[in-house]
Amino acid sequence: TFGGDEGEGAGGHGAEGGAGPSRSRKKLPSVQVGDPFTEKVLIECCLELYAGDLVVGIQDLGGAGLSCATSELASAGDGGMRVELEQVPLRATNMTPAEILSSESQERMCAVVTPGNVDAFMAVCRKWDVLATVIGEVTDGDRLEITWHGETVVDVPPRTVAHEGPVYERPVQRPDTQDALNAATSA
């Protein structure tokens, strides 16, 4: 991952970009506030990474955080992915694996980088003062495997998360009160 650090968004557990001191969850907003300066720096960093052909794939850590980014990246590729959650930089020290996975982070990305490009990728991130950490690897398998201190917390085919989720077909019926509400609001 690169950009900010995890720990303050979704329901108070994602992160705004950039490093900063730990804060109590009770003081955190449930809706993230972006940081325009950090966003601009991250954009410039990404543009240089693209220009140097240093990334194979990249995904933001917006909605659903790492759970979404890793499943989408793995399902778009030819293999699987293994991620070690304990490698993810955290601002809050008491986050559970589920909170880390679902943490929505402003100004943060997850990138797939070939082993031969990791050093150059990290050098570009250092140049822009963007925190970057290797949290896993692409595998030859067809599974998204995520561990927390050696314990498997996710082991799924990534397409089931990214593209083949359940579709609910619920009955739809017009409320009996709808006509009265429409008449009252148009008067």
| Per-residue pLDDT tens over the stretch 95-133 | 999 999 998 888 899 999 999 999 999 999 999 999 999
More confident residue, 67 or 7: 67
pLDDT at 20: 31
Q: Pairing relation of β-strands 2-3 and 131-132?
A: antiparallel
pLDDT at 87: 96
Burial 25-40 (b: 16+ CB within 10 A, else e): eeebeeebeebeebbe
> Which among 106, 104, 110 has a CA at the least distance from the CA of 9?
104
Interatomic CA distance for residues 81 and 64, integer angstroms: 17
CATH 3.30.70.360 is right for the domain spanning 2-165: no
Average pLDDT, the chain: 83
62-66 CB contacts, 8 Å cutoff, 24+ apart: 62/104, 62/105, 62/106, 63/104, 64/10, 64/102, 64/104, 65/6, 65/9, 65/10, 65/14, 65/100, 65/101, 65/102, 65/103, 65/104, 65/105, 66/1, 66/6, 66/100, 66/101, 66/102, 66/103, 66/110
Judged against a pLDDT cut of 80, whether residue 67 lies above it is answered with: yes
What is the domain partition of the chain in residue ranges? Answer: 2-165
Q: Pairing relation of β-strands 108-112 and 57-60?
A: antiparallel
Average pLDDT over residues 27-31: 57
Judged against a pLDDT cut of 50, whether residue 3 lies above it is answered with: yes
In the DSSP assignment, the letter for residue 90 is B
Q: Coil, helix or strand for 20?
A: coil
